[in-house]
Structure 1
Amino acid sequence: MFIWENTMQQQVRKSPFGLSFKAAALATLLACTALGAGSALAQAKPKIKLAYAKCAHCMSMAMVPALAQNVEIEGINFTAGSDALTALVSKSVDIAQVTYLAYVSGLDKGFDLVAVSGQVNGGSEMLVGKDSKLGADDWAGLKKLIAQYKAEGKPFRIAASRGNAQDLHMRGELAGHGIDPSKDVQFINIPNPSDHAAALARGEVELICSVEPFASQIRMTGVGKHFAYPYDQAAGRLTNLIVTRSDVIKEHPAEVRETVAAVVKLVDGLQKDKQGWINSIVKGTGLDAKIATEALNNAYPDYRMYRTQTKAIAAMMKDLRYVSSDVSALAEKNMDYSFLMSVTGKPKTELGY
């Protein structure tokens, strides 16, 4: 072999075309390498970054990547939907699970948002401390207690995580019962829902509107007790939306469709078997499986997007001074049903339009 190599080297050195031959051989090798790499890239799935929040109905999004077929989805968990929204508008992620409230408030701020699917609704519960004399749905008693606090010169403190669906549900419910959420009570913002139980236990608030599974945690650990489900307002029990940006739809329509398809699979699966959902809650929050199981009694999987209610939510948010302008028309305009229609084969009239 050494003699053959030596002979070839001598022939190459003697040939006036020796350098050209070497260069051609190298070029051919590089071309083959590039072709192989190109083939590998062609076979690789396109990638999408998906943001979701840390709550019972949100944590099920952790199962979406495994349900995707023609796209590689990287799921990124955030403390709150508002954080997921920030990641989306800053282009750190491509698609995000947020709330209807975040969608409307984002449009009010001028953000480029397009809603493409529903996900899971519900998850809101108003709770009072374990020693409170208020019974379930005792709104007359609550109004009387608030008046008593006013007479004594004390603020009646109500907490939620500002910017999440529970905050909006609570404010709408209070207003519907004749309680002005901006004047009659003092709002306390507790950004991380996992801190709700501790705040109620320490007596830092009189009432709290929490999100599952932390609401169930409060009840099951004896820290507090149920007061009301705040669904008697314009938003009803609508909670989660899957949103993206117009540039993502323009540049990656197939990937958006595949992500929506995975969400639809998720929702269909959640309605049949909740064990995977329970496991995702336990893993994501560290809470007991019994609490996770209880939390799902207040969660309603649904991939439809409700147009009329979304407009009502936008109007209510303007009335509650949550947003500076009425973006109800824009909220309707930016609901893109095409992906749900393509995936499910249903007309938009059957998808919440």
Structure 2
Amino acid sequence: MLHRRQFLVAAAAAATLPAPSVRAQSTTTIRMGALKLIHSIAPHFYEQFTPAGYKVEVIPFESPTEGKNAVVTKSVDFGMFGIAAATLGAAAGEPIVVIASACNKGMAVVAGKNSPIAAIKDLKGKRVAIWPGSTQEVFILERLRMEGLSVKDITPVRISFSEMHLALARGDVDAYVGAEPAPGVSLATGVGKIVEYPYGTAMGALNMIFGAHRDTMAQKPEIARVILDIHRKASDFAMANREAMVAMAVSKLGQKKDAIEASAPNVDLTWKFGETEIAQSKTYAQHMLELKQIRQLPDFATLFDTRIVAEMARQA
């Protein structure tokens, strides 16, 4: 009788246990760093192109240096930031690898709407907002050189990209070398006019790149292939659907629609990074060396690893 009672108690207990369930498929989360700029809007389209079994977490950063440092410290798996930040890091021996492009263009030299400044040569003697160590700084210094001028011919004013439009509106500066959407805001509000889109140098329209840690490329090449395929699809989609890109930028950046619409034509979201872009990057690095922004050129053999996007370009 005792054994029977024990059996009945055990059976009753078993009946209260939850039914066995099939374990859910594990999901791999990819941490993607993105700047709070329209240049870096593509990651916000990643979700619709992410395959099953993966999730992309977009982590925003205020500056290119912050984004680059996050990749170096492995706080994110991949990141978008300017070629300037990538070159600075690589020249200092940091394990940064450029694996694709993120955005070309996106820069502009802007002056007050009623200003007599109509060309780069007119910046002589003027107060010009420039963010030190930025991609824009290298471009404007090269454009000044091409016009027979140097930084000594202007009064450079250290102002962050997000403050440049307001500085121009207040009259704190006569012009600025900015990043979208600031030029678009200045145009849309009637505060400023475009002096030049500074793409007429040997550096072309080179701007933002897609970077990774060297360890990630060596240890997780399959993850790199997945995220770059997502990035390719998202970038192509955004460029083919400008209204969607504008709407996403308005939503994520908090800017007015008319300002973003003015910025969008000056933004080229991209993923291809071939021989032309590598050559432009090397020219860019040489300018940084001459400007003493870096002490030595980076090791280009380890800085660039574009095998995946090269294969994608061949198959496109």
Shorter-chain TM-score bucket reads 0.7 to 0.9
Q: Aligned partners of 2:204 and 2:182: how far apart in 1?
A: 20
Question: After superposition, what is the alpha-carbon deviation per residue over 1:240-294, rounded to whole angstroms, capped at 9, x for unaligned?
Answer: 1100011112222111111100111022212321122112210122111122122
Aligned partner of 1:185 in structure 2 is 154
Q: Aligned partners of 1:134 and 1:345: how far apart in 2?
A: 45
Aligned partner of 2:41 in structure 1 is 59
Question: After superposition, what is the alpha-carbon deviation per residue over 1:137-169, rounded to whole angstroms, capped at 9, x for unaligned?
Answer: 2x44333xx2xxxxxxxxx42213334322322
Q: Aligned partners of 1:316 and 1:121: how far apart in 2?
A: 18
Match of 2:187 among 219, 229, 253: 219
Is the contact made by 1:118 and 1:302 (CA closer than 8 Å) also made in structure 2?
yes
Aligned partner of 2:80 in structure 1 is 97
| TM-aligned CA deviation for residue 332 of structure 1 | 4.8
Cα RMSD between the aligned structures? 2.7
Is the contact made by 1:310 and 1:332 (CA closer than 8 Å) also made in structure 2?
no
2:153 partner SS: coil
Is the contact made by 1:118 and 1:303 (CA closer than 8 Å) also made in structure 2?
yes
Can you give the 5+ residue segments of structure 2 that lack an aligned partner in the other structure? Answer: none
The structure-2 alpha-carbon separation of the partners of 1:91 and 1:160, relative to structure 1 and needing over 3 Å to count, comes to: same
Residue 326 (1) aligns with residue 297 (2):
yes
**Percent of aligned pairs with the same residue?**
23
Q: Aligned partners of 2:4 and 2:110: how far apart in 1?
A: 85
The structure-2 alpha-carbon separation of the partners of 1:89 and 1:311, relative to structure 1 and needing over 3 Å to count, comes to: same
Q: Aligned partners of 1:68 and 1:94: how far apart in 2?
A: 16
Is the contact made by 1:314 and 1:331 (CA closer than 8 Å) also made in structure 2?
no
Q: Aligned partners of 1:110 and 1:288: how far apart in 2?
A: 41
Aligned partner of 1:19 in structure 2 is none
Aligned partner of 1:107 in structure 2 is 90
Is the contact made by 1:65 and 1:74 (CA closer than 8 Å) also made in structure 2?
no
Give the TM-score of the pair, scaled to structure 1.
0.79
Larger radius of gyration: 1
Give the TM-score of the pair, scaled to structure 2.
0.88
Aligned partner of 1:171 in structure 2 is 141
Q: Which amino acid aligns with 2:205?
A: R
Q: Which moved more, 1:330-339 or 1:114-123?
A: 330-339
Q: Which amino acid aligns with 1:6?
A: R
Is the contact made by 2:272 and 2:313 (CA closer than 8 Å) also made in structure 1?
no
Is the contact made by 1:124 and 1:169 (CA closer than 8 Å) also made in structure 2?
no
Aligned partner of 1:44 in structure 2 is 26
Is the contact made by 1:307 and 1:332 (CA closer than 8 Å) also made in structure 2?
no
Aligned partner of 2:283 in structure 1 is 312
Is the contact made by 2:187 and 2:262 (CA closer than 8 Å) also made in structure 1?
no
How many residues matched? 307
2:84 partner SS: helix
Residue 272 (1) aligns with residue 240 (2):
yes
| TM-aligned CA deviation for residue 194 of structure 1 | 2.4
